[in-house]
Every structure is written in structure tokens, then in C-alpha cells.
Amino acid sequence: MKLRTFGTLSQPVSEVGLGCWQFGGDFGPMSDSQALSIMAAAVEGGVNLFDTADVYGGGRSESLIGNFLATHSGSPIRVVTKYGRDGSVFPDKFTEASMRTAVDAARRRLRVDVLDCLQLHCIPIAALREGAVFDWLRSLKAEGAIREFGASVESVEEGLLCLRQTGIASLQVIFNLFRQKLVTDLFPQAQAAGVSIIVRLPLASGLLSGRYMKQTTFTEGDHRNYNRDGQCFNVGETFAGIPFETGVELADEIRAMLPQEMTIAQAALRWILDHDAVTTIIPGASSPDQVISNVAVSDLPPLSDELHRRLTEYYYSKVAQHIRGPY
Ligand SMILES: NC(=O)c1ccc[n+]([C@@H]2O[C@H](COP(=O)([O-])OP(=O)(O)OC[C@H]3O[C@@H](n4cnc5c(N)ncnc54)[C@H](OP(=O)(O)O)[C@@H]3O)[C@@H](O)[C@H]2O)c1
């Protein structure tokens, strides 16, 4: 597993991390033992960064990670978590007191004294512009309650705003073969500012695994069912904002362009890692086997320049017009 520098954390992070939203049950039911075996496979494969949030399963994702950390004290796992989407504060009741309460609750659930990194969790642009949230984060860092802070954002405009904030270590963004414009519109600025990039939805909620058919269905509690067209939250967080049936067709066309020696999921992840501005990708996984396949991508060779050129051309001519939601 190759490592990349993250903010001022003394240890670099694995370029393949683990997304832990699914432990909250938003990809269908997941038992404690399934979640623990997914984390074990990740650490076995060299992953040292987990991404979670206070709201995933109402704290269940953080608690399961806390249980895992308690039995893996020798593994230097960094956990990045989030504040800002709990119904008590979102969308316009953010206060320093509520952020401090959230930090304490996350520390308890994760069973750590200090949070490695606290990210704002897609809070409205007005709150990013107003800026007080960043003052609170700087205070928490100065006091030693958090090591780093960052922001998970939905649009380039939000990302550029956050880059202006002193001390911000990371931006978490949606970036994948279906969402390429950050290469030109955000990554150069992030690199110039020395801000790490955490990539969420690297597989467009699984569409870029090429496993789904138009008739594939998802269970009631899975956001790929209940938020398929953005009924509950930003449509971009589900299938990267691409209508499902269109995404299945696009994934099939992309598959035909890829090298035979890797799966489409691996090629999609490799494509992301080939961008220097990216610090880590955080694919979710519903099984240890998926984790094993995802961590293997770190050892695969980069895609050819010619394939990168074709995939960029394909995105601008065939994909970009289908993206819905803030971008
Ligand atoms: N607002 C935010 O800040 C925000 C929003 C969304 C996500 N996130 C973070 O980003 C992480 C990743 O995003 P995500 O899980 O939504 O999307 P994702 O990583 O693009 O997709 C995950 C899904 O891809 C499929 N998959 C994973 N590895 C595979 C493999 N090797 N082969 C075949 N299929 C594979 C699985 O689908 P099946 O379930 O069908 O097996 C899995 O559930 C989340 O866990 C969370 O930590 C943050």
C-alpha cells in the first residue's frame, strides 16, 4: 500500500482508505460482524484511514469503528469524521457549543482522546461564507481536541471558498470517471494551497463496478433506492448524480475502453489515484472481498496517457451533460 502526506499528520495515510457510511445501514442492513470483517480486511491490506460521520446510523458507524480500534491498538488507523448534518444543527443552527458537543460524542464513540480530523459535513454555502465554523475548528485544533480539520463539499464554489481558510488540511469531494471537472477547476488550487484531497464516491455508489443492470433494485433502507433521484438529500451523493439507467449504460461503454487485466472497479479507482492532487480515496465496501480488490489498486500500474485522454474525452462528450445537483 502506497502512502501519501495528509495535512500535518505525522504519519502519511494510505492512498486507499475505507468509507464507512455503510456501517450506518444506508446501503441496506449490515451486521456488526460484517462491519468488523470489512475493517479487518482493510487494515490487513494496509489501509490506515477510515472515513465516517456522526450521523451515519445515528453514531453506529463511529461506535463500530471505536470497537474495532479498541481491539487493534497496534494499528495506526486515522479516522476522519464529520459534523454538521445532524437534524439538531442542519441547515442553519450551527453553534460552537454544538460543535464541541459533537466532538466529545465522537471521541466517546471512537474511544479516542483526540479526533484525527473533523470535517464540516456538506453544510450550506452561506455558513461556509460566514466563516465562524472555521474559527471554532481552529480553536478546537489549538486546544488539542482535534489534530486536523477539513470540509466535505458538494461544489467547486464551496471547495474554493474553503481553500481560503487558514489551517484547513483537507477537502472531501466527489471525484470519479463520471465527475471529472475538478481536475481543472479545483485540484490546481488545492495543490497550490497544500490542501489534501479525500475522494468520496470513487465508484459512483457502485455504478462504476459495472455490476448493475437497469433492472437491478436496492432495498428500502438503501439510499440507492430512497435517494435515487435526490428525494432526501443532494442527488450527487447517490450514483454521483447520474440517473441510474443512464449510469448503467455509461459504465458498460467505459468497460469496453479499459484494460482486460483489471476489473472495471479497479480501473475506475486507478484512474483516480493517477491524479497527483488526490491524497486518498475512500471506497465503501459491502464485503471483505471488495476491500481486497480495492486495496490491490495501489499496486497496479498507472493507466496509459492515451487511455486517460480517451476517458477525459468520453466524459466531456457523453457523461457531463447527465450530472444532476450541485457540482
Ligand atoms: N457528504 C459526504 O461527506 C459523503 C457522502 C457520501 C459518501 N461519503 C463517504 O464516502 C465513502 C464512499 O462513498 P460511497 O460508499 O457512497 O460510494 P462508493 O465508494 O462509490 O461505492 C460503494 C459501493 O461500491 C460497490 N463496491 C465497492 N467496492 C467494490 C468492488 N471492489 N467491486 C464491486 N463493487 C464494489 C459496493 O456496492 P454494493 O453495495 O452494491 O456491493 C459499495 O457499496 C462513504 O462510505 C463515506 O465515508 C461522504
CB of 102 closer than 8 Å to CB of 83: yes
pLDDT computed for residue 260 by the predictor: 87
Ranges of each domain in the chain: 3-322
Distance 283 CA to ligand 1 centre (A): 5
Distance 201 CA to ligand 1 centre (A): 5
Assigned architecture for domain 3-322: Alpha-Beta Barrel (3.20)
pLDDT computed for residue 73 by the predictor: 83
Place of cell 455504478: 207
Nearest-atom number in ligand 1 for the CA of 200 is: 10
Give the chain's residues under pLDDT 70.
none
Q: Is the CB of 283 under 6 A from ligand 1?
A: yes
CB of 204 closer than 8 Å to CB of 57: no
pLDDT computed for residue 7 by the predictor: 78
pLDDT computed for residue 75 by the predictor: 80
Distance 215 CA to ligand 1 centre (A): 20
From 78, 88, 80, 100, select the one nearest 12 (Cα to Cα): 78
Nearest-atom number in ligand 1 for the CA of 202 is: 20
Tens digit of each residue's pLDDT (9 = 90 or more) over 272-315: 999 999 999 999 999 999 999 999 999 999 999 999 999 999 99
Q: Is the CB of 121 under 6 A from ligand 1?
A: yes
Q: What does the DSSP 8-state code read for residue 179?
A: B
Distance 260 CA to ligand 1 centre (A): 23
Tens digit of each residue's pLDDT (9 = 90 or more) over 77-130: 999 999 999 999 999 999 999 999 999 999 999 999 999 999 999 999 999 999
Pull the grid cell for residue 197: 484531497
Distances 166 to 102, 131, 186, 199 between C-alpha atoms, Å: 22, 11, 17, 21
Q: What does the DSSP 8-state code read for residue 28?
A: B
From 202, 205, 199, select the one nearest 233 (Cα to Cα): 205
Q: Is the CB of 290 under 6 A from ligand 1?
A: yes
Q: What is the pTM of this model?
A: 0.98
Element (H, E) at 280: strand 278-281
Distance 90 CA to ligand 1 centre (A): 23
